[in-house]
């Protein structure tokens, strides 16, 4: 049973934990829509099988899939992966899933956010998005987790980074964008984050990465290794298109303190070269008026920072780039107690995201 609670996590003593805290497991969605995922979704699905298999070695992994693809997904995924039917408008569980919040008594609840496919009719990525907007509630009901209804407030999970100790990092480009919550004043936006994630201090970056179709999600820019320690996308070349935004993010974070008053220890992880969709890749994508077009030669935002932290491991995107190994080595230093699991996820980047966007952590209370 999943009851709707007329209160907020902050009022009830629940908080959103950091991704690095212990998980019950992870949720993913089987990619299918052929106007976004090339070649009938098959290359993207193959990557999902690899990522789900990797996760299931460390923690419980659930994959959501349409009725049409159920048989195929069930047969291709390892038996250890739980497969549950769910209809969605597209994949990207981190963004449309619920936020699980926990208290100190071993209880868990969920926050069900508003959703408009990264911008609704003002630059959103597809239409309609009704099935997506039910995903939060559906996941919470499957898990018998009570629900805070925050559907009045549009936000994607990937647009937020928390340290689990009261600090939230977001971007003005995304979270103050008119296409998310219209004319809602900044103070009210901050209040929603503070109440529903139990946040004490919000750090506003100006922008996310260039070429990011989500209007600048922070999960391409940085993540918390642990409270007080941040891994940051970085590029050395001042002429690189990402140089300005990443430098700006570094400057802001360097001058900030977290909710506990700590200065941040910041670790720069150099991004790979800009990635472009090839003509051949583009040719396998359906032409559709319902989804943002993919164009041949289109530049994509890519970074190792769109990694995903699970129990005992960190899953790191790889692109066949010269920087791949360097990123893994640096993350290995930052996570001495976790395995580093490199996974080639170029296919997912072609659709605008990576491992972090495609996964959702369910914390252990």
Of 7, 11, 46, 80, the one binding a second copy (CB under 8 A) is 80
According to the binding rule CB under 8 A, does residue 268 interact with a second copy? no
Binding mask 111-130 for a second copy (x = CB under 8 A): --------------------
Distance, CA of 52 to CA of 71 (rounded, Å): 16
Residue written as token pair 């720069």:
268
- Give me the sign of the Cα torsion angle 88, 346, 305, 274: negative
- Find out whether 162 and 224 touch, Cβ atoms under 8 Å: yes
Distance, CA of 208 to CA of 7 (rounded, Å): 32
According to the binding rule CB under 8 A, does residue 141 interact with a second copy? yes
Q: What is the DSSP letter of 245?
A: H
Stretch that binds a second copy, among 45-53, 74-82, 277-285, 339-347 (CB under 8 A): 74-82
Q: Per the structure block, which two tokens stand in for 302? A: 């890519």
Of 35, 39, 49, 60, the one binding a second copy (CB under 8 A) is 60
Name beta bridge partners: 28.
63, 359
Of 22, 39, 70, 240, the one binding a second copy (CB under 8 A) is 70
Q: What is the DSSP letter of 134?
A: G
Nearer to a second copy, 34 or 134 (CB): 134
Report CA 87 to chain centroid distance, whole Å.
Answer: 19
State the minimum distance, in angstroms, from the CB of residue 56 to a second copy: 8
- Give me the sign of the Cα torsion angle 224, 185, 94, 281: negative
Of 131, 252, 266, 298, the one binding a second copy (CB under 8 A) is 131
According to the binding rule CB under 8 A, does residue 3 interact with a second copy? yes
Q: Give backbone dihedrals phi and psi of 291, rounded to 5 degrees, phi first.
A: -130, 150
Nearer to a second copy, 3 or 186 (CB): 3
According to the binding rule CB under 8 A, does residue 7 interact with a second copy? no
Q: Give backbone dihedrals phi and psi of 188, rounded to 5 degrees, phi first.
A: -75, -35
Nearer to a second copy, 70 or 243 (CB): 70
According to the binding rule CB under 8 A, does residue 77 interact with a second copy? no
Catalytic positions, written as ranges:
357
Which residues lie near a second copy (CB under 8 A)?
1-4, 56, 60, 67, 70-71, 74, 79-87, 131, 134, 137-138, 141-142, 144
């Amino acid at each position: 049973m999943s009851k709707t609670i007329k209160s907020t996590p902050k009022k009830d003593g629940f908080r959103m934990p950091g991704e690095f805290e212990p998980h019950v497991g992870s949720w993913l969605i089987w990619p299918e829509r052929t106007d976004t995922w090339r070649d009938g979704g098959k290359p993207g699905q193959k990557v999902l099988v690899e990522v789900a298999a990797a996760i299931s070695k460390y923690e419980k992994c659930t994959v959501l899939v349409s009725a049409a693809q159920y048989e195929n997904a069930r047969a291709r995924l390892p038996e250890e992966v739980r497969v549950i039917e769910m209809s969605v408008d597209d994949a990207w569980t981190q963004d449309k899933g619920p936020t699980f919040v926990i208290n100190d008594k071993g209880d868990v609840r969920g926050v069900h956010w508003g959703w408009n496919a990264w911008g609704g009719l003002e630059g959103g990525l597809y239409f309609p998005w009704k099935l997506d907007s039910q995903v939060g509630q559906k996941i919470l009901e499957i898990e018998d987790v009570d629900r805070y209804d925050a559907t009045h407030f549009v936000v994607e999970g990937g647009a937020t980074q928390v340290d689990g100790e009261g600090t939230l990092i977001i971007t003005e480009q995304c979270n103050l964008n008119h296409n998310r919550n219209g004319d809602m004043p900044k103070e009210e936006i901050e209040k929603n984050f503070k109440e529903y994630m139990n946040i004490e201090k919000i750090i506003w970056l100006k922008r996310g990465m260039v070429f990011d179709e989500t209007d600048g999600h922070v999960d391409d820019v940085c993540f918390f290794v642990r409270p007080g320690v941040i891994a940051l996308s970085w590029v050395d070349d001042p002429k690189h298109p990402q140089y300005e935004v990443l430098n700006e993010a570094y400057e802001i974070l360097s001058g900030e303190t977290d909710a506990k008053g700590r200065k941040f220890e910041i670790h720069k992880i150099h991004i790979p070269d800009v990635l472009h969709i090839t003509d051949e890749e583009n040719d396998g994508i359906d032409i559709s008026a319902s989804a943002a077009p993919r164009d041949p030669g289109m530049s994509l935002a890519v970074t190792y920072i769109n990694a995903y932290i699970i129990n005992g491991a960190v899953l790191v995107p790889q692109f066949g780039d010269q920087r791949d190994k360097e990123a893994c080595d640096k993350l290995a230093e930052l996570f001495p107690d976790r395995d580093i699991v490199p996974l080639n996820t170029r296919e997912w980047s072609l659709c605008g995201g990576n491992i972090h966007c495609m996964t959702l952590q369910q914390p252990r209370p």
